[in-house]
Amino acid sequence: MFNHQRQELLLNWDLLLEFLILLALFNNRTFFIVFLLCNEAIRPSKGAEVLCEKVIAKHNASQHVLRVFMYDLPPEFHFGLLDWKPEGSNVWPDIRTNVPTYPGGLNLQHSIEYWLTLDLLFSEYSGSSKSRIALRVRNSSEADVIFVPFFSSLSYNRFSRLRKQERSSFDKLTQDKLVQYIEAQEEWKKSGGNQLWPAMFILSDFGRYPPNIANVQKDIIAPYRHVIKSFVNDTSTYDSRPILLFFQGAIYRKDGGVIRQELYYLLKDEKDVHFTFGSIQRGGVNNATQGMHSSKFCLNIAGDTPSSNRLFDAIASHCVPVIISDDIELPYEDIIDYSEFLHFCSVLARMNWTRMWRKLQEIEKYFEYRYPSSDDDAVQMIWKSHST
């Protein structure tokens, strides 16, 4: 008698659990309760067990993975700009065997979209990463966000100048074609798109954009890709870095960068200060690498825009950054406490330098672009910034 009642009770429990699980898959209010039940030491039926797996998968996806729908744009908008030639009808390279390289020099600092595109393509291969932050989905209705893989900085840097007898640059024509493509997509039409206002931009700086196009309320600030070499196996001490303050770059700039000229004449002859003209030409990157690796503090001064890749060169060098810029916006400000390793023009002591130098070695990974991406690198942090 007792065994019969027990079996009946278990059967009713299984039916109830299956009903709750089905409800949870379509109703977020009951989702969390059922997720806890599925993780408890209960003996569900085979049907409930299968449904539990779906609930747990849904929970993991909602907690950890940003679902991204990426348009299969023609290669002329992305890897075609890197002189990659598609085979047949393929619009993407097989990045498991051949990753088109991005040009070096100053082009490299504005390569955000390249790294994000690689990461989404790689997410489609099994075993890409168990702790993935973003995952490409093929159905836009399943996506949290829609990504447009246009290598805009590369297009601008290479093709924005007018050639003879041209009325519009190749870059301008490419941008016009891209807008036409996007406006023809169902996702854009469903969003009620009005020009570019609903779009979210991933930028290094707001300096060249009017606030009705790009602003901190809707867009994401991403780090520049540093140009100088990372300081691997850094064992510096305060006294082992002979240069107190370092700056090397363009001196005469417009807008907020006028302060560079004033500081140059103020500091150029000071002891233990390196403040000189410099460019990427004639070994400039190697000289800057050696200089930053030998410096305690590195100036990051506003130029034509409020920020520059110099800040991220300093981070890669474990050279404590000193910011002189009124309107600078920093990446991941809701995740990283910049006061732990960066100064906005205040009195700097030896104890503070050592603490900040150690912190720089801890946080430099957040500003490294990698392929394949790894935990908490710049690519993953950008995706996190969108999901928070």
Q: Tell me the average pLDDT across 340-368.
A: 81
Helices marked H in the chain — which ranges? 2-26, 28-39, 46-64, 112-122, 152-159, 170-183, 186-190, 258-267, 284-293, 310-317, 350-363, 378-387
Check whether residue 20 and residue 41 sit in a common domain: yes
Would you say residue 171 lies in a domain? yes
pLDDT at 76: 95
Full DSSP string of 141-177: GG-SEEE----HHHHHHHH-SPPTT-SS-HHHHHHHH
Q: Which of 64, 91, 117 is the last residue of a domain?
A: 64
For 91-117, b/e burial (b = at least 16 CB within 10 A) is bbbebeeebbebeeeebbbbbbbbbbb
Check whether residue 73 and residue 220 sit in a common domain: yes
Sheet holding 66-70, edge to edge: 134-137, 66-70, 145-147
Check whether residue 117 and residue 149 sit in a common domain: yes
Strands 320-324 and 295-301: parallel
pLDDT at 52: 59
Calpha distance 246→231 (Å, rounded): 16
Calpha distance 307→325 (Å, rounded): 7
Where residue 339 falls among pLDDT bands split at 50, 70, 90?
confident
Q: Which residues does 146 contact at the CB level (< 8 Å), separation at least 6? A: 68, 69, 70, 71, 140, 187
Question: Picking from 2-16, 120-134, 150-164, 233-247, which range would have the lowest pLDDT averaged per residue?
Answer: 2-16
Percentage of the chain exceeding pLDDT 70: 77
Check whether residue 45 and residue 96 sit in a common domain: no
Rg (CA), the chain: 26
Cis ω before 210 (30° cut-off from 0): no
Would you say residue 208 lies in a domain? yes
Where residue 254 falls among pLDDT bands split at 50, 70, 90?
low
Calpha distance 226→207 (Å, rounded): 19
User: What residues form DSSP beta bridges with 297?
Assistant: 245, 320
Q: Tell me the average pLDDT across 135-162.
A: 92
Check whether residue 109 and residue 220 sit in a common domain: yes
pLDDT at 181: 93
Check whether residue 122 and residue 209 sit in a common domain: yes
69-73, 94-98, 260-264, 352-356 — which one is most confidently predicted on average? 69-73
Answer yes or no: is pLDDT of 41 > 60. Answer: no
The whole-chain average pLDDT of the chain stands at 82
Check whether residue 113 and residue 191 sit in a common domain: yes
Answer yes or no: is pLDDT of 331 > 90. Answer: yes
Would you say residue 232 lies in a domain? no
Q: What share of the chain is helix, strand, coil (3-state, %, to 5)?
A: 45, 10, 45
| Whole-structure pTM value | 0.77
Check whether residue 254 and residue 136 sit in a common domain: no
Would you say residue 229 lies in a domain? no
Where residue 346 falls among pLDDT bands split at 50, 70, 90?
very low
Answer yes or no: is pLDDT of 22 > 50. Answer: yes
Answer yes or no: is pLDDT of 17 > 70. Answer: no
Where residue 53 falls among pLDDT bands split at 50, 70, 90?
low
Would you say residue 233 lies in a domain? no
Calpha distance 278→250 (Å, rounded): 6
> Tens digits of per-residue pLDDT, 152-210?
999 998 998 888 777 889 999 999 999 999 989 988 887 766 555 567 899 988 887 88
Residue type, 358: R
User: What residues form DSSP beta bridges with 273?
Assistant: 245
Q: Tell me the average pLDDT across 80-88.
A: 92
Where residue 42 falls among pLDDT bands split at 50, 70, 90?
very low
pLDDT at 5: 46
Where residue 355 falls among pLDDT bands split at 50, 70, 90?
confident
> Tens digits of per-residue pLDDT, 214-244?
888 889 999 999 999 999 999 999 999 999 9
Answer yes or no: is pLDDT of 78 > 80. Answer: yes
Task: Determine contact, residues 290/269, Cβ cutoff 8 Å.
Answer: no
Check whether residue 298 and residue 359 sit in a common domain: yes
pLDDT at 260: 84
Would you say residue 236 lies in a domain? no
Answer yes or no: is pLDDT of 366 > 80. Answer: yes
pLDDT at 345: 67
* Token pair 């969108």 in the structure block, residue: 386
Which class for 349: exposed (0-12), middle (13-18), buried (19 or more C-beta within 10 A)? exposed
As a three-state string, the secondary structure of 8-34 is: HHHHHHHHHHHHHHHHHHHCHHHHHHH
Check whether residue 251 and residue 318 sit in a common domain: yes
CA torsion 245→250→251→254, rounded to 10°? -130
Q: Which domain holds residue 314?
A: 243-367
Would you say residue 234 lies in a domain? no
Looking at the 3D structure of the chain, how many domains does it have? 3
Check whether residue 75 and residue 211 sit in a common domain: yes
Question: Picking from 129-143, 214-228, 239-253, which range would have the lowest pLDDT averaged per residue?
Answer: 129-143
Task: Determine contact, residues 124/387, Cβ cutoff 8 Å.
Answer: no
Check whether residue 219 and residue 73 sit in a common domain: yes
Would you say residue 237 lies in a domain? no
Percentage of the chain exceeding pLDDT 90: 43
pLDDT at 348: 55
- By three-state DSSP, how is residue 247 classified? strand
pLDDT at 170: 92
CATH number of the domain residue 311 falls in:
3.40.50.2000
Residue type, 117: T
